[in-house]
Amino acid sequence: MKTYWKKNQQRLAPWLFLAPGIAMFAIYVIIPIFQSMSISLYAWDGLGEKEYVGLSNYVELMDDDAFYTSLKNNVIWLVLYMLAIPAGLFVALFLNQTVRGIRIYKSLFFFPFVISQVVVGLVFSWFYDPNFGLLNIALQAIGFDPIAVLADEDWVTYGIIAAGLWPQTAYCMILYLTGLNAVDPEQIEAARLDNAKGFKMLWYVVLPQLKPATFIAMVVTVIGALRSFDLISIMTDGGPWGSSRVLAFYMYEQAFSEYGFRMGYGAAIAVVLFLIMMVYITAFLVKMYRDERGL
């Protein structure tokens, strides 16, 4: 026994150290994925007997308008949420200066990220309120008709995304601020000598050095967009008539909400959401792999 350990120590040790992590990851991530896939083949209310229904949950999904609305909204979220990255960069560049009290300004800009999403949702609900909301007071002051953003099926998703961008921009800003600290002053100096300034300086000298920050910002923003749930739940509860749902919210509604408890159908939505994420995760992994190999 002892000799076996001695002989294979080098080979076994890494696995031993990895074991707790692997076990956790398997129990809380890998196994539930397969469980979801298997539940999606059943009709089940979470209480009684499961009934095997094959792919009929997916067939129903293909014919479900609410599903397509959610899918469309998910795409809108993914695209528009990306605005947080340039916005965060802009704010970071703006704040990256040494004036008196800059730390206070930085923390103020970071503030929306610290407060809970629920609070952000409430603040924006009041902001959009058709009667006393600031937005409509402002709109009326410059002669427009008031818009009930959260009660209008065409505006509602954009309204919620705008609320989500507020904390997300702060997040990206802090990533870029840390990135900017690591920018090599010598390269800036050299670029100055070569007469680079303004946008060219930013694009060719600063941004390439911020690449790691941009990468992380993108990762957290995509994840943030795909898991957008709390804002929708607080601001509209998916409404009006379901037009602000995204897949994560629709899954929750079908599986766990007051009128839901269709575990199979919810699981089917979760599987679709997983597949969408998979596209992105694969791209992410490919990139990581290439970076590791120094390509």
Partner 1 sequence: MFHRTKTLAAAVATSTLLASSLFAGELVINTDTSDPAPKAAFEALIAGFEAENPDVKVTWNLFDHEGYKTSIRNFLTADAPDLANWYAGNRMLPYVNAGLFEPVDDVWAEHGLNESLASAKGSMTIDGKIWGVPYTYYQWGVYYRKDLFEANNIAVPTNWDEFKAAGATLTAAGITPITIGTKYLWTAGGVFDYLNLRTNGYDFHMALTKGEVAWTDDRVRATMANWKELIDAGFFLENHAAYSWQEALAPMVQGDAAMYVMGNFAVAPLREAGLTDDQIGFFQFPVINPDVPLAEEAPTDTIHIPANAKNKEDAKKFLAYLARADVQTQINNTLGQLPINSGSSVGDDKFLQAGYEMLSSTTGGIAQFFDRDAPAEMAKAGMEGFQEFMVKPERLDAILERLEKVRGRVYK
CB of 227 to partner 1, least distance (A): 7
Which residue lies nearer to partner 1 by CB, 15 or 132? 132
CB 79 within 8 A of CB 161: no
Burial of 170 (0-12, 13-18, 19+ CB in 10 A): buried
According to the binding rule CB under 8 A, does residue 126 interact with partner 1?
no
According to the binding rule CB under 8 A, does residue 227 interact with partner 1?
yes
Rounded CA-CA distance 91/84 in Å is: 10
According to the binding rule CB under 8 A, does residue 54 interact with partner 1?
no
Q: Please report how the helices 84-95 and 102-114 are oriented relative to each other, as an axis angle in degrees rounded to 10.
A: 160
Q: Which of 68, 85, 235, 257 is nearest to 157 (CA)?
A: 235
**Which residues are CB-contacts of 167 (< 8 A; sequence separation ≥ 6)?**
112, 113, 115, 117, 120
Residue 52's beta-bridge partner residues?
Answer: 42
Which residue lies nearer to partner 1 by CB, 87 or 240? 240
According to the binding rule CB under 8 A, does residue 53 interact with partner 1?
no
CB of 98 to partner 1, least distance (A): 29
CB 93 within 8 A of CB 199: no
Taking CB under 8 A as the criterion, the residue among 130, 139, 166, 276 binding partner 1 is: 130
**DSSP states along 119-174:** HHHHHHHHHH-TTT-HHHHHHHHTTPPP--GGG-TTTHHHHHHHHHHHHHHHHHHH
According to the binding rule CB under 8 A, does residue 220 interact with partner 1?
yes
According to the binding rule CB under 8 A, does residue 37 interact with partner 1?
no
**Which residues are CB-contacts of 121 (< 8 A; sequence separation ≥ 6)?**
163, 230, 231, 233, 234, 235
Taking CB under 8 A as the criterion, the residue among 76, 162, 191, 223 binding partner 1 is: 223
Which residue lies nearer to partner 1 by CB, 205 or 248? 248
Rounded CA-CA distance 31/255 in Å is: 19
Which residue lies nearer to partner 1 by CB, 154 or 186? 154
Using CB under 8 A as the binding rule, the residues of this chain from 58 to 117 that contact partner 1 are: 60, 65, 117
According to the binding rule CB under 8 A, does residue 241 interact with partner 1?
yes
Using the contact rule CB under 8 A, the part of the chain among 18-26, 69-77, 98-106, 143-151 near partner 1 is 143-151
Name the token pair of 279.
């596209």
Q: Which of 235, 233, 234 is nearest to 251 (CA)?
A: 233
Taking CB under 8 A as the criterion, the residue among 151, 191, 196, 276 binding partner 1 is: 151
CB of 272 to partner 1, least distance (A): 15
CB of 18 to partner 1, least distance (A): 21
Binding residues (CB under 8 A) for partner 1: these are 45-48, 60, 65, 117, 128-130, 148, 150-151, 220, 223-224, 227, 229-230, 236-237, 239-242, 248, 251-252, 256, 258-262
